Structure 1
């Protein structure tokens, strides 16, 4: 709060005021308007003989009829912009400050009753107090906040924060797939905020979903990392049928929007495992999950991936996401053919992607595996806790993933555990995997209390049993996660893409004699190789460094 001094006369008849550093003396000049009221009347007008500033003595301090206890002092803040606490207009340099609260008021609002049009918040005009000597529960958000302007309707006993008067009525947020609407009160019941997970008082205003029992604090809902800033009141809702990913064309037969042929459902009992079969959506092996296979080619999708909605919301971005397979965005502004880097886990993927709707421009791209991680998701490493986004974004850079040490906003915390966090990369590590060194299915273990050393059967180095690793329950083998998955685990074997002059195909490294990388000349040890005509590469980095790439 800024301290405001008082105006008084000097010994030589001048006026000393906190408004200006020099004395102000009476003047009859009518050519220059007063900086306080913009008037040119000469009565009571003063000026600075050094700075040529003209102001009426009565404009230095004024009393507003809405709050006569405290005066408003004219202030000169050269080079600064102020937003009026009443009308929210922007003023440059000259502004009135409340002697009690220090809040700014523009010249126009300072001279008339502090009332505002409440718009949709209330049926009567609201009286504004710049700051009260007490805290109060806002009827719109339920927060006790003595630092905010108080707006009152005295006949109705209605109180509301100045900044809550024009809350949006209908919005979409990234924590929920349905629209939510602001309601005067939720009513009795145990309500939990869908953003911060704290209790919502049902006797005050909040946002709620009309489709399901979802509620959010008013202030949580309009945070810039939660809401996309679009008011949807009066905007017709999109037909949910438009977001369905496929049409049923027969019994167990669908036409998916990402593929030109029909897909047939194969139930779990009918699947013959083939480690070369990877889902074109998430790029994970099929294993024992029900899937859809193409009736004409090798296109295949997990049943869960086939049911992914065309549109989705996700906590990592405030805008809506759109699902793409053969990747393009808009008419001709965005296209790629090949691996993309996931915005939240920073891993390359050649499967389906959700792309942020960014006004016709390319937005953030997120892998479908990461989109499957949502608030309330239970990870098997912590079966009694849910993953939630930390509400304290100011310290998010200090929240480190408990497994890999990654920090930042894309780290989730676990309910009830202030010291335990998990990033998207670790949260999406497959819990089942296969490797040529073992004929059985491998399971992800999160830690073991073991005595003695564990050894990786692939690299023959020590495995820390207190960290995550893969194991075979049949053979009792232990394997490093990176040794099993490889450097780029989400590039689909058999996929092709272009990088520079190279047209590359991703192949399994099943050669009897491991090929050499054309760039670094080393034997390729990763589980996949990149082949272009008669040359091989060990990584995308080596492809980008190859001198022949740009020819």
Structure 2
């Protein structure tokens, strides 16, 4: 007996959780099977999708045909060609390349312990890492890992193949918001060229999160999950307590973390401390912590950055901010006709947010100048979103 909606299962499909095509079988066979999507057991007496190359990989029929896992194409009769990885740049010699994202040649430089360098690909600082720098001395710089990003990429975050795109500076309204972490960013992004109406794109840091994911503050591996039912309530992250559509969850203890927290750096640089501050989470202390920047109390068991040698402790928001994936000096125009620039908060002039009227403590702010030369400062992505729509 077969359900009416099960009799139409396609014979061969490709899902975003596995590198090979999967073939439907009406009898999986004896043994212990675990679904590659939901990570729950599969009864071998019934049908499932199985990989011919990876003998122990199988997926529930309904899990394999979920709209967030399968692109809806039946690949029966289509030959499976092996993907051939190619370099996404022209290598001129051992230290010189020509990257598709820049018109000048890029030269590899040795690791730097200091220096105010920001990657044009991921918009994050370059700290003690090998990088490529424009040979014509313009301000274009790339992490070595960002220079080696593939031009197309499959991911568990989306059913279609994603394409690596760069900033389109031919127009100013090239502002992106990552669908996974919900943070604004500029630089390289992976975009779906098939979902043109939905404008699906992700920043390169979220695309680098593996499945399963080893979170350094949790003993068990975390697996990707997504809210596919719009009527279902979004999950709350156990680290930042914010709601999220995409998250990574533990199968053993139901621990959940959002992509914004999963992509936080392990260490940050604080200009008033000679040591890097380390990411700490879940530590219960008898004495409460007070943030060295905003001077407000840090809630117990909340994520924070701390120097164990000198003592400074910072909120994650004060250390990195919600504009942490945007480069200083970046300008853009919104659809409401307002022009903004990402500026560094020197924390000396005691700036106040023009929307929430609180002191600005985040390291990067958005600045907009009105027609009467009055500077508008916005301290967070929430204030930016609300202010740009309301004014």
* TM-score normalised over the length of structure 2: 0.81
**CA spacing shift, 1:344–1:387, aligned 2, 3 Å:** same
Equivalent residue number for residue 197 of structure 1 = 39
* 8 Å Cα contact 1:375-1:387 kept in structure 2: yes
| Deviations, residues 32-76 of structure 1 (Å, cap 9, x unaligned) | xxxxxxxxxxxxxxxxxxxxxxxxxxxxxxxxxxxxxxxxxxxxx
| Pairing partner for 1:313 from 130, 154, 157 | 154
Give me the whole-angstrom Cα distance separating, in 2, the residues matched to 1:502 and 1:273: 36
* 8 Å Cα contact 2:206-2:263 kept in structure 1: yes
Residue 181 of structure 2 is aligned to residue 345 of structure 1: yes
Equivalent residue number for residue 170 of structure 1 = 12
- 2:236 partner SS: coil
| Pairing partner for 1:371 from 195, 207, 215 | 207
- 2:92 partner SS: strand
| Deviations, residues 346-385 of structure 1 (Å, cap 9, x unaligned) | 2111122111232554531212222222320111111433
Give me the whole-angstrom Cα distance separating, in 2, the residues matched to 1:197 and 1:543: 37
**Quick check: which one's strand share is greater?**
1
How big is the shift at 1:524?
4.9
Equivalent residue number for residue 485 of structure 1 = 320
* 8 Å Cα contact 2:224-2:247 kept in structure 1: no
Give me the whole-angstrom Cα distance separating, in 2, the residues matched to 1:457 and 1:391: 37
* 8 Å Cα contact 2:167-2:187 kept in structure 1: no
Structure 1 residue runs of 5 or longer lacking an equivalent are 1-130, 132-147, 150-161
**CA spacing shift, 1:421–1:360, aligned 2, 3 Å:** closer
- 2:260 partner SS: helix
How big is the shift at 1:497?
2.1
- 1:405 partner SS: coil
CA RMSD of aligned residues (A): 3.8
How big is the shift at 1:192?
3.4
**CA spacing shift, 1:327–1:194, aligned 2, 3 Å:** farther
**CA spacing shift, 1:383–1:245, aligned 2, 3 Å:** farther
* 8 Å Cα contact 1:192-1:198 kept in structure 2: yes
| Deviations, residues 490-515 of structure 1 (Å, cap 9, x unaligned) | 21113222346555432222385456
Residue 167 of structure 2 is aligned to residue 326 of structure 1: yes
**CA spacing shift, 1:165–1:530, aligned 2, 3 Å:** closer
| Pairing partner for 2:133 from 293, 316, 320 | 293
Residue 182 of structure 2 is aligned to residue 354 of structure 1: no
Equivalent residue number for residue 455 of structure 1 = 290
- 1:206 partner SS: strand
Residue 74 of structure 2 is aligned to residue 231 of structure 1: yes
Give me the whole-angstrom Cα distance separating, in 1, the residues matched to 2:69 and 2:95: 39
How big is the shift at 1:438?
3.1
* 8 Å Cα contact 1:189-1:202 kept in structure 2: yes
Moved more, 220-229 or 251-260: 251-260
How big is the shift at 1:164?
4.8
How big is the shift at 1:441?
1.6
| Deviations, residues 145-166 of structure 1 (Å, cap 9, x unaligned) | xxx35xxxxxxxxxxxx65554
How big is the shift at 1:527?
2.0
* 8 Å Cα contact 1:520-1:542 kept in structure 2: no
| Pairing partner for 1:537 from 371, 376, 379 | 376
Structure 2 residue runs of 5 or longer lacking an equivalent are none
Alignment of 1:103-114 (within 5 A): none
**CA spacing shift, 1:385–1:394, aligned 2, 3 Å:** farther
Give me the whole-angstrom Cα distance separating, in 2, the residues matched to 1:526 and 1:360: 34
Residue 252 of structure 2 is aligned to residue 438 of structure 1: no
Give me the whole-angstrom Cα distance separating, in 2, the residues matched to 1:170 and 1:336: 44
**CA spacing shift, 1:514–1:245, aligned 2, 3 Å:** farther
* TM-score normalised over the length of structure 1: 0.60
| Deviations, residues 303-324 of structure 1 (Å, cap 9, x unaligned) | 2222222222233322222221
Larger radius of gyration: 1
Give me the whole-angstrom Cα distance separating, in 1, the residues matched to 2:132 and 2:39: 37
Give me the whole-angstrom Cα distance separating, in 1, the residues matched to 2:267 and 2:333: 31
How big is the shift at 1:469?
0.6
| Pairing partner for 2:120 from 254, 265, 280 | 280
* 8 Å Cα contact 1:205-1:218 kept in structure 2: yes
Give me the whole-angstrom Cα distance separating, in 2, the residues matched to 1:360 and 1:248: 33
How big is the shift at 1:486?
2.3
Residue 222 of structure 2 is aligned to residue 386 of structure 1: yes
Equivalent residue number for residue 102 of structure 2 = 259
